[in-house]
Structure 1
Amino acid sequence: MDGSLKFSALKEKQRAIRAGFPETMGLRVHRAISWVGRSEACDGDDDARFLFLWIAFNAAYADEREFQSIAPGERAAFLDFFGKLVALDKEKKVYKAVWQRFTGPVRLLMDNRYVFNPFWQHHNGIDGYEDWEARFNTSVRSFTQAFQAGDTARVLSFVFDRLYVLRNQLIHGGATWNSGVNRAQVRDGATILAFLLPVFVDLMMDNPEQDWGKPFYPVVD
């Protein structure tokens, strides 16, 4: 076992305390846990595991603002989510989860230019990104400084900036399933989501009284 929270533990906790959950928050947690469970059944298919875990992430954080005509932008919305989680994370569960993996998937993802958006902007001929490599090196240094300072929200912003590029590659058909070309980032991205998502959901269950936002797709009879 790698020490990360698993579907079974999350589901057991949810069943024990869900009677005290507000309806909208309970729905978020229920949906997120279901997708975490599905991701664990992927049998080595890292593409599918990453996508199911990203759905779990969406279930946890996305609210009705995402679907209004004037939205703040997806990354802005999940950065709000990170700020709320970190403020509630008195035991630094998220920081510890990242720390335990710092020399592994997180470090490898941060060092991977193929999930750095300015690299692709330059590669696709968009003006103003000739200095992508300098930006990349600055980003890696800034991440290291944030990590060493224990700035968990900033650490998550760097990590999910990379994960969001990977999410776009997969969701928008910019990758081949099970391709040997992009295995490292898909594998590392799935591994990172697999140990962070359960921690996020666990923190939400520990703080059901917080306003976690209204899901746009509630259960309608």
Structure 2
Amino acid sequence: MQNYQRLKQRQRAERDSYSQALAIRIHRALSWLDKAEQCDDDDSKFTFLWIAFNSAYAQDFEQRINFSEKGLYQEFLSKLVNIDEHNKLSSIVWSQYAGAIRLILSNEFILQAFWDYQSGRIPEDKWKDERSKAKVAANNALGNNDTSTVLAILFARLYTLRNQIIHGGATFGSSANRKQLRDCTFVLEQIVPTIIELMMDGKDELWGEPVYPLIDI
């Protein structure tokens, strides 16, 4: 059974106990997860998985503040980790750190500092220093079982790839970004359904009003 089908069954059984804000977030996120699971190409799948994540997460301040390496998602991810009694997110990080996550953190083409260097905004040593610091921070966080920090650093890379695709900085089906797109999609396929599930687990938590609430006219 795909993640959407499993989670949708649970949502139908529990939705009357959700706050309106959470109900909207979960409903929207599941709709995009469903679409992502129907896709057979990574460009589309990654895009719809990101929309699913944003449907679950999006806050007003995200439209006004640029994402940083430290992570605007840190508070959200930390909240999920605290709810995660069975360490599902931690298990994903531990199982994939030596594989897909390590490859993502080592790929300069989804490090924003690399593109800042290419555009002449920072010197070469600056972007290389940013890459090294992020690797050290991720390794230290992993050693301290700080899952939320590892995820925040990871999501900084995912966000760069998201920008490349959404803002037309990549070609559909291009061979130039297949490696990072494949790795990032693989990781999102595991993380996004887990995030939705943890929000269901934390139905009594305050998740905030959706950025665009449902208006009944």
Q: Given the two structures, how large is their TM-score scaled by the length of structure 2?
A: 0.91
Percent of aligned pairs with the same residue?
A: 39
1:121 and 2:116 matched: yes
Secondary structure of the structure 2 residue equivalent to 1:159: helix
Matches within 5 A, 1:32-181: 32-43=29-40, 45-66=41-62, 71-73=64-66, 77-181=72-176
User: Would the alpha carbon gap of residues 65 and 127 (structure 1) be closer, same or farther in structure 2, given more than 3 Å must change?
Assistant: closer
Distance in 1, matches of 2:173 and 2:84, equals 36
Shift of 1:141: 2.2
User: Would the alpha carbon gap of residues 138 and 65 (structure 1) be closer, same or farther in structure 2, given more than 3 Å must change?
Assistant: closer
**Deviations along 1:65-111, whole A, 9 cap, x unmatched?**
445xxx45456542221121122222221111222222221111111
Distance in 2, matches of 1:145 and 1:7, equals 34
**Aligned-partner residue type, residue 202 of structure 1:** E
Secondary structure of the structure 1 residue equivalent to 2:125: coil
> How many positions carry a matched residue from both structures?
214
**Aligned-partner residue type, residue 80 of structure 1:** E
Distance in 1, matches of 2:136 and 2:73, equals 23
**Aligned-partner residue type, residue 30 of structure 2:** I
Distance in 2, matches of 1:169 and 1:130, equals 23
Distance in 2, matches of 1:196 and 1:124, equals 32
Q: Given the two structures, how large is their TM-score scaled by the length of structure 1?
A: 0.90
> Is there any run of 5+ residues in structure 1 with no aligned partner, and where?
none
Distance in 2, matches of 1:175 and 1:66, equals 23
Mapped contact 2:77–2:148 kept (Cα < 8 A): yes
Mapped contact 1:31–1:59 kept (Cα < 8 A): yes
Distance in 2, matches of 1:114 and 1:108, equals 11
Q: Which residue of 2 aligns with 1:24?
A: 21
**Aligned-partner residue type, residue 94 of structure 1:** L
Distance in 2, matches of 1:127 and 1:184, equals 26
Distance in 2, matches of 1:154 and 1:66, equals 19
Distance in 2, matches of 1:29 and 1:73, equals 25
Distance in 2, matches of 1:60 and 1:66, equals 13
